A and B are shown apart, each in its own frame.
Chain A
């Protein structure tokens, strides 16, 4: 298949597994006939009696799991990360993304920052879903949808895939300019009182979550610069997701003239 300018191969000998394998490929992946591929993934069933699923990456066993779902998730997660790191014409920033009134809201953050929870809260309030994992940016700084089910954690901290429609939301389509960047993470009991960021601080907040930051730094800084000169940005800890989501939509809905001028310098 072709995916974000990369030639990738996924394979399995089991037809039923293939169906599930193909169902969760990254958005935009399309089948092609090619022998020259950047990376190969395969899933095979091994073990005698009790099945064991093996994930192979370029022919080497990368993971083993008795549970097929777990093996599939390992494969898809690895594939998405590879695409995020090596995409030729897009920059992947680890972030939740929604659209509101024609502009995108980016919420960069590492794992456990609560991005998916906050993204889900924004969707429940009427924002359009783009992604709970990656902001996919083009060279003009516009963000493209990266449609996948939201990965929401239950009370025990386990992740479950939830379709955006199950939250009463809809998935976005075309690319949008970024209107607001919100660098936030969950902190028990915190009240969301963010401070404005300068353009340089905005770039650092996004770069800190850019998958290809180390090996595509020049391209990353140019793309993030384009975002920072167009978008407003804030940083601050948040508590409960719904309250923060309401505050974020208020911020995003305000006209520039109504907003306190952000600092021009870091």
Chain B
């Protein structure tokens, strides 16, 4: 089955990431890109096995042993999610799976029993800068056109508070 992927997936090096475990989820912070990700159980299981050694077949076996039906579909979708989130080591070309269609696989999972839990999900946000987390922009400061308000008495003109 490993021939279905054009290479064995490898996660980004741990030196670039901060990982925090939750009971059913995994939080991953990408220090280089300053993105925070929440991986659900299926996505986390697959990501942990992206070591350049574990085959797709072995990933599928682990998912199905954990009670996740449609293991192959779930594993391929997870790899797709992880690649989109840039949690896999960069390569010259994206990871390709033979005969893989995200839409068809989501449909398959949708009709499988218990699929709501099996669908791998990676939610991502960009960590705010200190300025983005400010309550208001003082007089002379810029950025008010982006949504942050000017401080008391200030008026946003263009992108600057006056």
A residues neighboring B (CB under 8 Å): 62-65, 67, 69-70, 73-74, 77-78, 80-81, 84-85, 94, 110-112, 133, 151, 157-161, 198-201, 203-204, 207-214, 217-218, 221-222, 225, 228-229, 264-266
Once the chains are docked, how many angstroms separate the CA of A209 from the CA of B133?
A: 6
Once the chains are docked, how many angstroms separate the CA of A143 from the CA of B148?
A: 25
Question: Which chain A residues border B27 with CB–CB below 8 Å?
Answer: 200, 203-204, 221, 225
- Decide yes or no: A264 and B23 within 8 Å by CB, A77-B151, A111-B136, A159-B151 being known contacts: yes
- Decide yes or no: A217 and B127 within 8 Å by CB, A199-B25, A266-B121 being known contacts: yes
Is B55 among interface residues, defined by CB-CB distance under 8 A? no
Once the chains are docked, how many angstroms separate the CA of A112 from the CA of B133?
A: 12
Contact of B135 among A70, A94, A204, A212 (CB under 8 A): A94
Once the chains are docked, how many angstroms separate the CA of A62 from the CA of B41?
A: 48
Q: List the 8 shortest-distance A-B pairs measured between CB atoms, nearest first.
A: A200-B25, A200-B38, A266-B38, A265-B40, A213-B127, A159-B152, A74-B138, A211-B133
Chain A: CB-nearest residue to B22: A199
Question: Which chain B residues border A204 with CB–CB below 8 Å?
Answer: 27, 36, 38, 123, 125
Question: Which chain A residues border B134 with CB–CB below 8 Å?
Answer: 77, 81, 111
B residues neighboring A (CB under 8 Å): 18, 20, 22-27, 29, 31, 34, 36, 38-41, 117, 121, 123, 125, 127-130, 132-136, 138-140, 147-149, 151-154
Question: Are B22 and A225 interface neighbours, CB within 8 A?
Answer: yes
Question: Are A221 and B20 interface neighbours, CB within 8 A?
Answer: yes
Once the chains are docked, how many angstroms separate the CA of A28 from the CA of B89?
A: 46
Give the shortest distance, in Å, between A212 (CB) and chain B (any CB).
Answer: 7
Question: Are A265 and B133 interface neighbours, CB within 8 A?
Answer: no
Once the chains are docked, how many angstroms separate the CA of A211 from the CA of B131?
A: 8
19 new A-B pairs (CB below 8 Å) besides A208-B36, A228-B22? A70-B152, A73-B138, A77-B138, A110-B133, A110-B148, A111-B148, A151-B136, A159-B153, A160-B152, A203-B22, A210-B128, A211-B128, A211-B130, A214-B129, A217-B127, A221-B29, A221-B36, A264-B25, A265-B41
Can you list 28 residue pairs at the A/B interface with Cβ under 8 Å? A62-B140, A63-B139, A69-B152, A70-B152, A70-B153, A77-B134, A77-B135, A77-B136, A94-B135, A111-B135, A111-B148, A112-B149, A159-B136, A159-B153, A198-B25, A199-B24, A199-B25, A203-B22, A204-B36, A204-B123, A204-B125, A208-B36, A211-B128, A217-B127, A225-B20, A264-B23, A265-B25, A266-B123
